[in-house]
Amino acid sequence: MPPNTPPESLNPIITRPLPNAVVYDLTSPTQTTITLPPNSTWTSGLHYHTTHTEFLLLLHGSIRLRLGGGATLLTAPKSGEGIEITIPRFARHEWSRAGGDAEDASDVVVIERTDPADGAKSVFFWNLNGAILEFSERRVQGWYAEFWLMIELFSIFWALDNYPVFLDLSRFGGIGRGVEGCVTYLVLAAARGVGWIGGIDGVRRERMPRELWVESERRGKGKRG
């Protein structure tokens, strides 16, 4: 996604290659269809949300889901009805292809949506993929470019209710989760500060459809700082 791509020309189907292959269908502003092809090592990463309840609708294939303190293997019924999982606010979670004995040669298809259905999830995926794809197209790589990509991604996380667990202390119960939260907040806040000084804004108008940008501004989802 070139930096100067006009919003009206953006393709809502975003594809990233192996090994962490994934296809994001961002046609709808209130839900995202995520497809993981065979052999994909893609993972959502362990994270949580503070202002949104998330719903995962597993339509096809098998996933490994970590939710709270437990992990489970889920397989979509052949009837096509799907399985919907509710992710409460502040619940640590991560999902990926199941792998192992449950792995097969078909795609995994999951629809993600949130309550409130305010479009923040779509804004998140547009900007996340925009930053990653722009980085992959740069001629200059190396640690310096990777550092600024990290700052940009962390700025997106900070702005759009996506909090990674950098230090997994779940085995220590409530105290451990409290420390986790402090570490996450401090890392993202520091990254956002560096980004502000460097003039980096993770949420950018040219990375998403114009209508979505206008709505996100109205709702305050393209927040700064």
Torsion angles phi and psi, residue 43, rounded to 5: -145, 150
Percentage of residues of the chain with pLDDT beyond 70:
90
Report whether pLDDT(225) > 70: no
Give the model's confidence band at 189: pLDDT under 50 very low, under 70 low, under 90 confident, else very high.
very high
Tens digit of pLDDT for each residue in 71-90? 999 999 988 889 999 999 99
Question: How confident is the prediction for the chain on average, in pLDDT?
Answer: 90
Give the model's confidence band at 152: pLDDT under 50 very low, under 70 low, under 90 confident, else very high.
very high
Please tell me the class of the 7-115 domain. mainly beta
CA distance 123 to 143: 27
Predicted pLDDT of residue 94: 98
Give the model's confidence band at 173: pLDDT under 50 very low, under 70 low, under 90 confident, else very high.
confident
Q: What residue segments make up the domains of the chain, in order of their start?
A: 7-115, 120-219
Report whether pLDDT(1) > 90: no
